[in-house]
């Protein structure tokens, strides 16, 4: 069940949804609008990122840009944080969806990662990440503080049982991918002519 504006306000009051700072003007009919914040991490270049090579990951982590605005281009991915810190109870899941006025500029706000897991940062509100890019060849400058994305809330049929704490709790919003660290032990790679599994992550995300 997707939460309405009244459901969202009720969930905020009882602590099932944490939003800091909270602004009731950003509560829409069935979502809460999240605002853009820096610092911004620009990731670009034509190097092939080898997802089994830690050094390749390190070379492709991008560059941090300070300032209160960022220019989005078709040839780069920009990671940014939300101005708000968010937390969800284990009974709630969140979905990110770009707002129409931003989408009509050719801006994609969350690339492909739109799920906010049930129980995210519960009790310790943390920033979410935007994966910003543009389509249609446009270059667009966005400013910190601008509402750019809906956060839609849905209630689960039963609370999720978290097997591991979220590794994203406390994130600033611009950390690069940790795919190899988190999932490397699930796939294999060539090592000295033989196929070997990557080392498992000691502390799962």
- The Cα 65–Cα 67 span in angstroms is 7
Q: Which of 94, 73, 89, 80 is nearest to 14 (CA)?
A: 89
Check if the beta carbon of residue 168 is closer than 8 Å to that of residue 26. no
The rounded distance, in Å, linking the Cα atoms of 63 and 65 is 6
Percentages (nearest 5) of helix, strand, coil residues in the chain:
15, 40, 45
Q: Which candidate in 24, 44, 55, 131 is catalytic?
A: 131
In angstroms, rounded to a whole number, what is the distance separating the alpha carbons of residues 159 and 54? 36
Q: How far is CA 73 from the centre of its chain?
A: 19
From the CB of residue 111, how many other CB atoms can be counted at a distance below 10 Å? 14
Note if 65 is an active site residue: no
Q: Which residue has the tokens 């956060």?
A: 151
Q: Are 87 and 124 in contact (CB under 8 A)?
A: yes
Please report which helix (H) or strand (E) contains residue 65, including its range.
strand 63-65
What is the set of active-site residues?
131
């Amino acid at each position: 069940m997707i939460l309405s504006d009244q459901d969202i306000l009720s969930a905020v009051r009882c602590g099932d949804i944490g939003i800091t700072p909270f602004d009731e003007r950003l509560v829409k009919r069935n979502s809460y609008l999240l605002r853009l914040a820096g610092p911004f991490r620009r990731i670009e270049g034509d190097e092939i990122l080898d997802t089994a090579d830690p050094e390749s990951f390190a070379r492709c982590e991008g560059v941090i840009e300070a300032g209160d605005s960022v220019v989005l281009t078709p040839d780069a991915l920009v990671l940014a944080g939300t101005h708000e810190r968010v937390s969800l109870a284990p009974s709630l899941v969140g979905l990110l969806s770009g707002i129409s006025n931003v989408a009509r500029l050719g801006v994609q706000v969350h690339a492909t990662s739109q799920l906010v897991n049930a129980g995210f940062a519960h009790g310790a509100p943390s920033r979410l990440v935007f994966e910003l890019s543009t389509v249609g060849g446009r270059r667009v400058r966005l400013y910190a503080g601008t509402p750019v994305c809906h956060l839609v809330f849905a209630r689960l049929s039963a609370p999720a049982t978290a097997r591991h704490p979220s590794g994203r709790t406390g994130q600033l919003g611009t950390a690069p991918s940790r795919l190899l660290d988190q999932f490397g032990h699930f796939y294999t790679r060539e090592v000295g002519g033989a196929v070997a599994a990557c080392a498992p992550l000691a502390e799962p995300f």
